[in-house]
Structure 1
Amino acid sequence: MSAENKITVFETTGFPNPARIRAALAEKNALDQVDFVEIDVMNKEHRTESFYAMNPLGTVPVLRTAEGDFISESTAITEYIDAHFDGVSLTGQTASARGKIHMMQRRAESMVMDAVGTYFHHATDGLGPDLETNQCSQWGNIQLANAKNGLLYFDRLLANSEYVAGDSFSMADITLFYGLAFADFAKVEISAELTNLIDWREKVGQRPSLKG
């Protein structure tokens, strides 16, 4: 594949959603088949005209396909990666598996990742006053409570399930794993009583794709 036709991922190192994409690529053994471009969020590079042309929402990550199309939203990017590269399926191979994985992926996103993110961006200093605009602390704290309920939900789920969406590792596990990492960063406590969740996190954290 020539350089001009290579897939490109626009990311910000250390942010949870770009980390999800790196993990998906690692699971497919495809990290070396993609170029990465760093977007300096702290200096508002994601709020430039050129970046908005790729993603009008101004969020990372964004993937540019070999054909030159732009895909944003981590779930959509993971779908593309899973279909484009050979290897283990992250999104399910049967209709039943695909439905369950997408359902649990969305729950991991809304109940943990997004809830923690809303708390972080609205009820804390977040990324600082230059980047955090139109904050609503009340909404942020509501989402903190939702995140804590989400952690409890997944602890109960993982009492009877090896992985988030059943017997196989999937994109739902990647999302929850980095949702917990975001919780750590945002100082959202993961109670020691959530032993199923903690044990699952330790287990999947041994995967090479999640160690980076």
Structure 2
Amino acid sequence: MKIYDVANFPNPLRVRIALAEKNATNNVQFIPVDLMNGEHRTAAFIAKNPAASVPVLELDDGTYISECTAITEYIDHLFEGPSLTGSTAKERAVINMLQKRAESMVLEPVGTYFHHATDGLGPALEIYQNKEWGQKQKEISLKGLSYFDTVLADNTYLAGDHFTIADITLYAGIGFAGFAKIDIPADLTHIHRWLSLVAERPSIKL
């Protein structure tokens, strides 16, 4: 298997954490994408993923899989180890719900803020910006963090006692927030407790 990505970018990070959680990192060949010079917008890359985004998983039979949730689910079912996506119908539904909320309420609005209300990746790549929209998305991300603080008031991890893809997505979103200079409010004590817990996982320390 090959994964086309950019190391330390938020979405590639999600997949790399999932691989580490399954002790499967060595089963994948990472192919760096020169995003800063627009490789993701070339015809060759768009043939792999029409959304022109990373990461993209290439299977040995030539199948391309994009979208972090799809890639992570494939990894979770392919390799042995604790499930990241749930074992029962209820677990799978709750994890899927929280993972989607982590995307739509934190990670994605942080990304929109970064690309629209800051210099982002620079003028060569940020060909359209709407600063007002970006600032609004920052507000949404902070409301999202407040929501997850309430979730973590009653849970060790987002979906209960076990680390899942929902935690991975929120962790990547908060990391992106830090890069975009969005501070996590000090009064979100459950978020800060959870961050300290997650930071000690071997998959995060890699």
Superposed CA deviations along residues 54-78 of structure 1, whole A, max 9, x for unmatched, are 0011000000012210000101100
Q: Structure 2: state its 5+ residue gaps.
A: none
Per-residue deviation at 1:136? 1.1
1:125 aligned residue (119, 126, 134): 119
The DSSP-based 3-state class of the residue aligned with 1:36 is: strand
The DSSP-based 3-state class of the residue aligned with 2:47 is: helix
> Structure 1 residue 192 and structure 2 residue 183: aligned?
no
- Partner Cα separation in structure 1 for residue 161 and residue 7 of structure 2: 31
RMSD of aligned C-alpha atoms?
0.7
Question: Which residue of 2 is the match for residue 204 of structure 1?
Answer: 198
% same residue: 55
Q: Structure 1: state its 5+ residue gaps.
A: 1-6
Per-residue deviation at 1:137? 1.2
The DSSP-based 3-state class of the residue aligned with 1:60 is: coil
Question: Which residue of 2 is the match for residue 139 of structure 1?
Answer: 133
- Aligned ranges 1:160-199 → 2 under 5 Å: 160-199=154-193
1:82 aligned residue (76, 86, 91): 76
Question: Which residue of 1 is the match for residue 27 of structure 2?
Answer: 33
Superposed CA deviations along residues 131-180 of structure 1, whole A, max 9, x for unmatched, are 01221111111111000101111111101111111121100001111111
- Partner Cα separation in structure 2 for residue 155 and residue 86 of structure 1: 31
Per-residue deviation at 1:83? 1.1
**Amino acid in the other structure paired with 1:95:** A
- Partner Cα separation in structure 2 for residue 68 and residue 164 of structure 1: 35
Question: Which residue of 1 is the match for residue 7 of structure 2?
Answer: 13
TM-score by structure 1 length?
A: 0.96
Question: Which residue of 2 is the match for residue 113 of structure 1?
Answer: 107
- Partner Cα separation in structure 2 for residue 165 and residue 125 of structure 1: 35
